[in-house]
Amino acid sequence: MDALSVLIAIALIHCSLFFFDTLFKSCSHFPYLYFLENTGLEIQILRVKWFTTAFNRKIIKWGMDRSRFWTAWFNAGIIITVILFPIAVIIILKMTFNMWLAGSSSDTSSGVILEPMLPGVDVPFNEIGYYAATLAICSIVHELGHAFAAAREDVQLFGLGILIVFTIPIAYVHISNEQLTALPLRNQLRIACAGIWHNIILATIAAAILVFSTWLWAPLYNIGSGIYVKTILPNSPMLGPSGLLEHDVIYKLNNCPVKHSEDWYDCILQTMQHSAPGYCVKQSFIQDYDESVPAKQKTNGAVNCCTTDSEMSGNQCFEYIEGPQTAPLHLPPHSCLPVRAMLNQSQNYCQTSHECLSQDTHCMKPSLDNVTKIIQIKRKIGKDVLFFGHPADIYRTVDVSDWVPKYSFLYPKLPESLALLCKYITVFSAGLAIINVVPCFFLDGQYILNILVLYLLNSVPHNKNIRESTILTITSIGTLLLIMNLMYLLINKLL
């Protein structure tokens, strides 16, 4: 199912929910109204809202326990957030400056520090689950920070909720605004900074798990010693009696070592960009196995010196590559040789005969067109796999993993999923912390700025108008700059 079909299906589900919700409400179905009231559900067009008070007691209990720890915890949040505040402002100013510079050049990606990540554009659509889960986790952790801090300051907590806007989950917390504004400024700042502080902690934990994942999974998985074949598509040319198998561990592709999945793709790209290598083989082998017939030039530039039966049995026409020093030609210009037998006894790869170490060996290069390649895939168990065709077919039809299970009942999906989720959480949670600290309307930065200005200008006499003007000006500028940057980046991504 493609991305558009999934989005249409989600939109139809939202429309169906809204239709039945409107129908049941208009008919005053008491069981349905009772169900909505007791579950806290609220359905609107393309939006589903859930609100609950079930966690209030637990949050209040956790917030009031270990009061010294929580005080030090949220005080640390104030320090880190206040340090991050000017950094976020500098980032927004730098992005705006880079945006104006990019307006006069064709490079629209230069200097981008923060940018929106869109499913199907930056995020592969098959990772939409990780995208939604990450947004939910980061949003919930952010709001729980505010809830714990509010409970610690004895501010009434009405409840928690999650709002799903189409496919984007957003968490929120409802606390008493009157009790919040009545607190001393330092206590207000603890609550305002708690969400950003928890996002920073979440990003740090996710990054640490990602960095140390190799050691965490070491008892169960190997990494860095080869790649694991997860799946092979049914139409793959790698399938066959002597072809590649799922669960194979590959460590070399021709003369290119493969330790990680990046090496695998780099090696495939290298075979596409460079000419096919030659093979150093003994003269006696060539004389014993040569089944060549008079050579013929093909339309694609390759030379054919094998009969149809020889090609069907695994033979290929090879060209004798003479070294830089002209020597008497002991071999015919082209020889029809069995590919697998020749590769098995080949001493090393070559481009010219002088690269072959022994005197009785010669460099034999397959006579192919510019697209077709012979690729030797070495695996830890089983004989080498020989591929004859375009290397892109390997790239498209074989899915590999860095995680090689030590036991047959294991599969790389678990460590891969955890690593990918940690990557998303690290990026999203850190980005959410920076965005929220920007002095912008409806973000935490607005309230943090308000408290900081009140605190700094509190000693100035008759300062009410000055405070309000300063807060409004800075917040308006921050909102304008943030919207300009986001709109600019979105337009460049979508157009």
Instruction: Answer yes or no: do 178 and 257 share one domain.
Output: no
Tokens (6 digits) for 8: 């249409």
pLDDT at position 301 is: 73
Helix (H, G, I), strand (E, B) or coil at 170: strand
Tokens (6 digits) for 57: 């007691």
Name the more confident of 4 and 195. Answer: 195
pLDDT at position 330 is: 63
Instruction: Answer yes or no: do 319 and 443 share one domain.
Output: no
The b-or-e profile of 320-352 (16+ CB within 10 A means b, else e) is: bbbeeeeeeeeeeebbbbbbeebbeebeebbee
Strands of 272-370, DSSP E: 278-282, 296-297, 303-304, 315-321, 334-338, 349-350, 361-366
Instruction: Answer yes or no: do 208 and 59 share one domain.
Output: yes
Instruction: Answer yes or no: do 456 and 321 share one domain.
Output: no
d(CA 95, CA 404): 41
Predicted confidence band at 3 (pLDDT cuts at 50, 70, 90)? low
pLDDT at position 76 is: 95
d(CA 422, CA 138): 11
pLDDT in tens, 123-158: 777 888 898 899 999 999 999 999 999 998 889 999
The last residue of a domain, from among 402, 431, 459: 402
pLDDT at position 323 is: 53
Cβ contact 375:252 at 8 Å: no
Q: For residue 28, what are the contacts with CB-CB under 8 A and spacing of at least 6?
A: none
Total structural domains within the chain: 3
pLDDT at position 189 is: 94
Predicted confidence band at 120 (pLDDT cuts at 50, 70, 90)? low
Instruction: Answer yes or no: do 84 and 41 share one domain.
Output: no
pLDDT in tens, 52-107: 988 888 888 887 776 788 889 999 999 999 999 999 999 888 888 888 877 655 45
Q: Which helix (H) or strand (E) holds 82?
A: helix 67-102
d(CA 398, CA 233): 7
For residue 116, what are the domain limits? Answer: 52-102+111-215+417-494
d(CA 339, CA 316): 6
pLDDT at position 420 is: 93
Please check whether residue 279 lies inside any domain of the structure: yes
Q: Residue 325: is its pLDDT beyond 50? A: no
Instruction: Answer yes or no: do 155 and 21 share one domain.
Output: no
pLDDT at position 111 is: 52
**Closest by CA position to 77, among listed 444, 450, 441, 440:** 444
Q: Which range is least confidently modeled, 4-8, 310-314, 332-336, 400-404?
A: 4-8
Please check whether residue 79 lies inside any domain of the structure: yes
pLDDT in tens, 173-188: 999 999 998 999 999 9
The last residue of a domain, from among 374, 402, 430: 402
In Å, how far are 286, 289, 292, 303, 387 from 308, measured between CA atoms?
Answer: 19, 16, 11, 14, 19
Q: What is the 3-state secondary structure (H, E, C) of 368-435?
A: CCCCCEEEEEEECCCCCEEEEECCHHHHHHEEEECCEECCCCCCCHHHHHHHHHHHHHHHHHHHHHHH
Task: Name the one residue in this structure whose structure tokens are 């009140």.
Answer: 454
Predicted confidence band at 40 (pLDDT cuts at 50, 70, 90)? confident
Predicted confidence band at 20 (pLDDT cuts at 50, 70, 90)? confident
pLDDT in tens, 41-55: 888 888 899 999 888
Average pLDDT, the chain: 86
pLDDT at position 80 is: 96
Instruction: Answer yes or no: do 294 and 234 share one domain.
Output: yes
pLDDT in tens, 408-450: 889 999 999 999 999 999 999 999 999 999 999 989 999 999 9
At 126, which amino acid appears? Answer: N
**Burial zone of 403 (CB within 10 Å; 0-12 exposed, 13-18 middle, 19+ buried):** buried
Strands of 191-304, DSSP E: 221-222, 227-232, 249-253, 256-257, 278-282, 296-297, 303-304
Cβ contact 361:339 at 8 Å: no
The last residue of a domain, from among 376, 402, 428: 402
Please check whether residue 407 lies inside any domain of the structure: no
Q: Which residues pair with 157 in a beta bridge?
A: 175
pTM for the whole thing?
0.80
Instruction: Answer yes or no: do 428 and 463 share one domain.
Output: yes
Name the more confident of 347 and 308. Answer: 308
Please check whether residue 411 lies inside any domain of the structure: no
Please check whether residue 409 lies inside any domain of the structure: no
Share of the chain above pLDDT 90, in %: 37
CA 122 distance to own-chain centroid: 9
d(CA 445, CA 489): 22
Predicted confidence band at 351 (pLDDT cuts at 50, 70, 90)? confident
Across 34-46, average pLDDT: 86
Q: Residue 329: is its pLDDT beyond 70? A: no
Share of the chain above pLDDT 70, in %: 92
Instruction: Answer yes or no: do 241 and 369 share one domain.
Output: yes
Cβ contact 347:357 at 8 Å: yes
Q: Which range is least confidently modeled, 312-316, 326-330, 396-400?
A: 326-330
Predicted confidence band at 463 (pLDDT cuts at 50, 70, 90)? low
pLDDT at position 460 is: 61
Instruction: Answer yes or no: do 159 and 175 share one domain.
Output: yes
Tokens (6 digits) for 98: 């880079």
Q: Report the relative pairing of strands 315-321 and 334-338 from DSSP bridges.
A: antiparallel
Instruction: Answer yes or no: do 186 and 287 share one domain.
Output: no
pLDDT at position 202 is: 97
Whole-angstrom distance between the N-terminal and C-terminal Cα of the chain?
24
At 73, which amino acid appears? Answer: W
